[in-house]
Amino acid sequence: MKHLLLVHHSQTGSTAALAQAVLDGARSPDIEGVELRVASPLSADAADLAWADAVILGTPENFGYMSGALKYFFDRIYYPCLEQTQGLPYALFIKAGNDGAGALASVRRIVTGLRWREVQAPLVIAGEVDEQALAACRELGMALAAGLEAGLF
Ligand SMILES: Cc1cc2nc3c(=O)[nH]c(=O)nc-3n(C[C@H](O)[C@H](O)[C@H](O)COP(=O)(O)O)c2cc1C
């Protein structure tokens, strides 16, 4: 079994709705060889990353940055994981009010330092969580899980 870790944070629920769609996609019945673990960035740690063969990160944009919770995750795991997680495949989804660029840049700066590999284009959902946004998130989850199962990453 391959291991896929989803770390996401939501303050008012919209990133959580996107995360549920990502999970639904990753749990597609066609994908049988991937075990999923969902963790809050407030509690996820280096052991979760050691377990993971790939990681999906989800955050709202707050004040032109990733959420404080996701930043706290990176603060805690950066040095413990710096050597061991190089090359880790990751994907990112962001829920923003109207932009998302600051959150995207802030995550990319840190994962570049960690040398994680961006294996899917980041998904930035600005505005309403509508069916199109949920479908894009399901697609993201499915693509990560299917790619992991197939040994693409
Ligand atoms: C404190 C705070 C700061 C925010 N800053 C931004 C921002 O800089 N850019 C933006 O596009 N949206 C911003 N927003 C809007 C949120 O990104 C948006 O409401 C998002 O859907 C919240 O996600 P959540 O429901 O998962 O908490 C901010 C919201 C809050 C509460």
Report the nearest-CA residue for atom 12 of ligand 1: 97
Report the nearest-CA residue for atom 23 of ligand 1: 60
* pLDDT at 133 (0 to 100): 98
Q: For residue 15, which atom of ligand 1 is closest to its CA?
A: 26
Domain hosting 20: range is 2-149
pLDDT tens profile 35-90 = 999 999 999 999 999 999 999 999 999 999 999 999 999 999 999 999 999 999 99
Residue-averaged pLDDT of the chain: 98
Q: What is the DSSP string of 62-113?
A: BTTBS-HHHHHHHHHHHHHHTTTTTT-EEEEEEEESS--HHHHHHHHHHHHH
Phi, then psi, of 13 in degrees rounded to 5 = 105, -20
Strands 54-60 and 34-39: unpaired
Q: For residue 64, which atom of ligand 1 is closest to its CA?
A: 8
Q: How many A from CA of 134 to the centre of ligand 1? A: 18
Domain of residue 44, CATH code: 3.40.50.360
Q: How many A from CA of 126 to the centre of ligand 1? A: 10
Q: For residue 99, which atom of ligand 1 is closest to its CA?
A: 11
Label residue 142 by pLDDT band (50, 70, 90).
very high
Distance CA 113, CA 25 (A): 29
Q: How many A from CA of 99 to the centre of ligand 1? A: 9
* pLDDT at 33 (0 to 100): 97
Q: How many A from CA of 51 to the centre of ligand 1? A: 31
* pLDDT at 146 (0 to 100): 98
Number of domains in the chain: 1
* pLDDT at 144 (0 to 100): 98
